[in-house]
């Protein structure tokens, strides 16, 4: 697990470096990807913005962020820099495994005088926050990189830091779908292989001790779960 976490962090660090040079990691992909029969699906998902989208309308409406709420963004990537979370009245806390992502977010916060709770560089399965600290939370576009044992630990940790009846949104791969097959091929090329292989039923059984499913819906290559923390 530790080695794979390091590989994921290294891949995202490299993505930040390329971004600073004006290079989009998702452009100029090799022929084995662009010639894949599912590649047009990826282009359409980019066009329709149905790839992982942390601030989409459905998530905002479900979490209903209000002033005085603490919000945890697990596997936050650069979400805070895009329209959405930085405009929410809730207090933002971000966790990401990539040191360079956290450094970039810290610079953004200082430059734009954005009021937040904290940014933490580390894994989502071991966070520094107190039990029952967060009112609302999300984990979007992150669990696909990990196998069953890690996903179980990440759910347990999310449950620990969420308040009773706290609202939480996460997504998992739609395993077997052509949308996920092409995105997994691209992620492997970028150095962060998707290792998630559970069925939906298996995942939902894993959820049961921690969260109640309010609704779920397909979003591109992923399935989003809208949850309530049960304690």
Number of structural domains (the chain) is 1
Nearest residue to 192 via CA among 146, 123, 138, 124: 146
* DSSP, residue by residue, the chain: -HHHHHHHHHHHHHHHHHHHTT--TTSS--HHHHTSTTHHHHHHHHHHT-S--TT-HHHHHHH---TT-EEEEET-TTGGGSTTGGG-SSEEEEEES-HHHHHHHHHHHHHHT---SEEEES-TTS--PPTT-EEEEEE-S-GGGS-HHHHHHHHHHHHHHEEEEEEEEEEEE-TT-HHHHHHHHHHHHTT--------HHHHHHHHTTTEEEEEEEEETTEEEEEEEE--
Compute the distance between CA of residue 66 and CA of residue 88 in angstroms, rounded to an integer: 7
pTM reported for the whole predicted model: 0.93
Supply φ then ψ for residue 18, to 5 degrees.
-65, -40
C-alpha atoms less than 13 angstroms from C-alpha of 139 in its C-beta half-sphere: 25
Q: Which residues pair with 137 in a beta bridge?
A: 72, 168
Give the domain extent around 73: 2-229
- Look at residue 15 in the predicted model and tell me its pLDDT: 87
* CATH code assigned at 23: 3.40.50.150
So what's the pLDDT on residue 94? Answer: 97
Q: State the pLDDT at residue 86.
A: 79
Instruction: Name the token pair of 126.
Output: 């071991």
Spans of the chain, pLDDT less than 70: 49-55, 83
How far apart, in whole angstroms, are the C-alpha atoms of residue 199 and residue 40?
25
């Amino acid at each position: 697990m530790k080695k794979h976490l390091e590989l994921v962090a290294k891949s995202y660090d490299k993505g930040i470096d390329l971004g600073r040079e004006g290079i989009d990691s998702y452009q100029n992909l090799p022929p084995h990807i662009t010639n894949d029969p599912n590649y047009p699906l990826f282009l359409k998902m980019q066009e329709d913005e149905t790839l992982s989208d942390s601030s989409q309308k459905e998530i905002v409406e479900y979490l209903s962020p209000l002033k005085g709420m603490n919000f945890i963004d697990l596997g936050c990537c650069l979400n805070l820099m895009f329209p959405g979370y930085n405009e929410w009245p809730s207090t933002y806390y971000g966790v990401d495994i990539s040191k360079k992502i956290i450094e970039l977010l810290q610079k953004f916060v200082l430059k734009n005088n954005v009021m937040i709770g904290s940014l933490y560089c580390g894994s989502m399965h071991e966070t520094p926050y107190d039990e029952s600290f967060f009112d609302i939370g999300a984990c979007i576009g992150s669990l696909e990189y990990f196998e069953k044992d890690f996903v179980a630990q990440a759910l347990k940790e999310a449950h620990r830091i969420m308040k009773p009846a706290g609202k939480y949104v996460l997504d998992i791969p739609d395993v077997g779908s052509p949308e996920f097959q092409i995105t997994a091929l691209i992620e492997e090329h970028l150095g962060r292989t998707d290792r998630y292989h559970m069925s939906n039923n298996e995942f939902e059984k894993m959820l049961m001790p921690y969260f109640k499913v309010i609704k779920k819906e397909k979003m591109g290559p992923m399935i989003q779960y809208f949850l309530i923390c049960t304690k």
